[in-house]
Structure 1
Amino acid sequence: MEKASNIPENYQRIMPYLIINDGEKFIKFMQNVFDAREQYKQMRDEKTIMHAEINIKGSTIMFADCTDTYHQQNSGMFIYVDSCDETYKKAIDNGAQSIMPPADQSYGRSAGVKDPFGNTWWITNPI
């Protein structure tokens, strides 16, 4: 894939930007379930994340805590993982709700969860 020369390293051309409730817990959830790495965090005050970034194997997700000005904005995301079943279990163990248990599909083994922050994750390991 061709990358524009002015896009900073560790960023892709399109990145999700979430506005969520309790970004600190979101970071922990993402680390526990998807082995995310915190790559940047700037606080608005002692409790509110103004802007943060996590990285999952080369893909960056940006997010901030919701405020009176910036209301919660969730997303649905599709993520390839090494093991759908293991990742699904980690998600459930970390407070996610099942949307669809792991099942074999024509494109791989796939499951769906809603994380504690309102985002939907379609977790798939390819065939």
Structure 2
Amino acid sequence: MKLPAGHQQVMPYLILKHAEGFFDFTARVFGAKEHHRSYKDGNKELMHGEISIGGSIIMFGQSSADWGTDNAGLFIYVDDADATFKKALEEGATEVMPVTDQSYGRSGGVKDPFGNTWWITSV
């Protein structure tokens, strides 16, 4: 099987309100790198975006009348769950579960401004 460069076999695909802002949020909180952007209607509306976090690609697009919002729950390993959790809250996320020690690591949950839940964990 041949895959496009940088893609893994299975990738989440999110349909978001304010999808353009998702680039900035993920870059500031998780260090995401832009992998791709495609626009429609003369560069006015994001049609398709891709970010890379630690080598994993997340694809997403803008919701519309044809494509309703389709959010996700995402589990992410980070170096410092407490610091990343705090940064997510500073960037507009809301707390779902405070960061606590779990059997699998230090973990907490936030809902980002776009409706996705992130389970932020360090081991």
- Determine which of 56, 59, 62 is the counterpart of 2:56: 59
After superposition, where does 1:71-86 map in structure 2 within 5 Å? 71-86=68-83
Any unmatched runs of 5+ in structure 1?
none
The reply on whether 1:93 has 2:90 as its aligned counterpart is yes
After superposition, where does 1:1-127 map in structure 2 within 5 Å? 4=1, 6-45=2-41, 46-126=43-123
1:4-42 Cα deviation digits (max 9, x unpaired): 4x0122111110000001112111000000000011000
Any unmatched runs of 5+ in structure 2?
none
What is the TM-score with the length of structure 2 in the denominator? Answer: 0.96
Aligned equivalents of 2:4 and 2:44: distance in 1?
Answer: 28
The AA in structure 1 aligned to 2:20 is E
Aligned equivalents of 1:59 and 1:30: distance in 2?
Answer: 13
Q: Secondary structure at the residue paired with 1:40?
A: strand
What is the TM-score with the length of structure 1 in the denominator? Answer: 0.93
Misfit runs of 4+, over 6 Å? none
Root mean square deviation of aligned Cα? 0.9
Q: Percent identity between the aligned chains? A: 51
